[in-house]
Amino acid sequence: MAVSHRLFRPATSTVKNIFSSYLIRSLSSSSGSSLDPEIDLKEAASQLEKSSSSSSSPHKGRNFHWVFLGCPGVGKGTYASRLSSLLGVPHIATGDLVREELSSSGLLSSQLKELVNHGKLVPDEFIISLLSKRLEAGKEKGESGYILDGFPRTVTQAEILEGVTNIDLVINLKLREEALLAKCLGRRICSECGGNYNVACIDIKGDDHSPRMYMPPLLPPPNCESKLITRADDTEEVVKERLRIYNKMTQPVEEFYRKREKLLEFELPGGIPESWPRLLRALHLEDLYDKKSAIA
C-alpha cells in the first residue's frame, strides 16, 4: 500500500502552528456567506486548531487520525463505524453533527433544513465549528484519535485540517453510480431506535468490463419494521444533485491527498460480507480483527 509507510508519521507542532496561522489568515475571506453571522471561517478554524491539539492519553497505539471519503450513501458510516470499534477510536460523522443541529429549534436550524433538503452543501465555517465542538468534547473525555466521516469535502476544509492536525490516512470508498443511487433510495431509519437499514436489493449483471455486483438488503428486525422512515433528502432528484455537487467539490480533495501520498482508493466489490474482509486486507488489519474476534 503506497501510504503504509506514512500511517504513523509524527506531526511537528511548530510547523503545524506556523502553517495554521498562515492558512487561517489567507482563507478567512475565501468562503461563501455564513449561515450564522457569529461564525466566520477564521474563528471556526481557530476553534478547530484548539480542539484538535494533541493531549496525553493512557491508551497507547490508539492515536489514529483517519478520514473516510466517498459519495453520499456509499457506506462511509458503515465501514468507519466498524473500524472505530476495531481500533478503539471514535467515529465522527459530520452528517450526524448536522442532523443533531437540525433537530434543534431556531433560525439556524431552519436555514440548514433548506440547504440539506435541496442537496446543497453546508458552508465550511459552520461544519468546522461543529467539528471543533465535537473534538473538544472528546478531548475532555480523554479520546485520542478519530475517524472522520464526511469531512473534509472541499479543498479549503482539507487545507485547514492539514494545518491543525496530522491526518495519517484517507480512505476513498468507490461504488458504481447505478448501485449508489439504488442504495441511497433504499435507506431507511428506525424512528424509535435510530437504527440504519436498507431495503434495496441490488443485483447488477456483469459484463466484459465489470463483474456482477450483488448487495443484499439490510433489513430491520421485526420490532423495527413498522417504524421505518425515509430521510427527507433521500429522493431521486435530491440524491442526483448531491452526487453532482459531491463530484464537483470533492474530486479536488482526492487529488489533494493523492499528492501527499495519503490516499487509499478502495472499490467496493459488493455488500458488507464481501467488502469488509477486503478492506481489512487493504489496511493490513486482518490479523488484529482475527485476534479480537477470537477473544470475543
- Is-contact 183 102, C-beta < 8 A? no
- Is-contact 71 178, C-beta < 8 A? no
State the catalytic residue, choosing from 16, 134, 183, 242: 242
State the catalytic residue, choosing from 153, 183, 188, 262: 153
Helix, strand or coil, per DSSP, at residue 20: helix
Active site residue 76: yes
Active site residue 153: yes
State the catalytic residue, choosing from 76, 134, 183, 262: 76
Active site residue 62: no
**Alpha-carbon distances, residue 215 vs 113, 199, 200, 209, 224 (angstroms):** 31, 11, 8, 19, 21
Could you give the CA distance from residue 242 to residue 34 in angstroms, rounded to a whole number?
20
- Is-contact 127 94, C-beta < 8 A? yes
State the catalytic residue, choosing from 176, 231, 258, 278: 231
**Alpha-carbon distances, residue 190 vs 98, 131, 198, 204 (angstroms):** 18, 25, 11, 27
Residue positions annotated with a catalytic role: 76, 153, 187, 231, 242
